[in-house]
Amino acid sequence: MTAHRYTEDHTIPFYEGDVTNRITMAMLINVLMLCSDHQNAALGVAQQSLIDQYGVGWVVTQYAITIKRLPVADDTVKVSTRGTSYNRFFAYREFWIHDEQGNELVKVDSIWVLMDEKARKITEIPESIIKPYRSENVRRVPRLKRPERLDSNAELTTKKYQVRASDIDFNGHVNNAHYLEWMTDVLPLDFLVSHQPEQINIRFENEVKYGNFVSSSVLVESQDNDRIKTIHEIMSNDKLSSSATFIWKKNDVKGNE
């Protein structure tokens, strides 16, 4: 029995693109979340119904994102997802973005936990919630590569942000996509125009709340293979909220790879 795969089309409006017209990392995450939300609803286990019935909600702890080519504004892409496997506490979900010709543009692996909304603690995944996905019950879900941590002696670039009302989703939490926005914004605009991410490993640790200040720090490192590595940390109240490692490649022309 293979896991249930869900696919939908998405046309990228201009406001999901950046200055080069490519979809932003924040919007990429949003588009994936939209697809998994729709699968959840199609399988009768919508996020809101889990909260209402069980007092629990899915929370992503880690993404590994591999990008061959970023779609641009006006592109229509196919977004697919499947809840591939799970064990007692963790669920492994895959995502794909394909262009209209069927070429794979983006592949994402993600690890999810079920969070008790009141206690804000991880809970066991009940059979009734996971069953509709036809996920494989496994002893270990795949372990995604951990982002590197910053050396406190390194020369970092840091910017401060305050969590905005518009960063809060209908569950009262900060939408994960905003971490990507804080991480990329700390890089100079000319770098963002001339490069695009090829690989992103990001982990979410402690939740930030409305009104909190976060500091987004980055260390930029050149690689042997003509790539740039950036190591990111989002800190809030002296606690690590999120860490990430990005590998960037240079664009040939603005708006193209």
Comparison of 3 and 79: residue with beta carbon closer to its own copies: 79
CB of 68 to its own copies, least distance (A): 22
Q: Could you tell me the sign of the dihedral formed by the alpha carbons of 188, 256, 21, 228, in that order? A: negative
Work out whether 175 is an interface residue with its own copies (CB under 8 A): yes
Residue 148 tokens read as: 């590197």
44: left (phi over 0), alpha (psi -120 to 50) or beta: left
Q: Would you say 175 or 241 has its CB closer to its own copies?
A: 175
232: β partners:
218, 244
Nearer to its own copies, 3 or 177 (CB): 177
Interface with its own copies in residues 210-239 (CB under 8 A): 210-211
DSSP conformation class of 165 = G
3-state secondary structure of 240: strand
User: Where does this chain touch its own copies (CB under 8 A) — which range of 87-95, 140-148, 177-185, 195-203?
Assistant: 177-185
The residue assigned the tokens 């029995």 is 1
Compute the distance between CA of residue 210 and CA of residue 176 in angstroms, rounded to an integer: 13
Stretch that binds its own copies, among 28-36, 49-57, 127-135, 238-246 (CB under 8 A): 28-36
Residues that bind its own copies (CB under 8 A): 13-15, 17-21, 24, 26-27, 30-31, 33-34, 37, 73, 159, 162, 164-166, 168-170, 172, 175, 177, 181, 184-185, 187, 189, 192, 210-211, 255
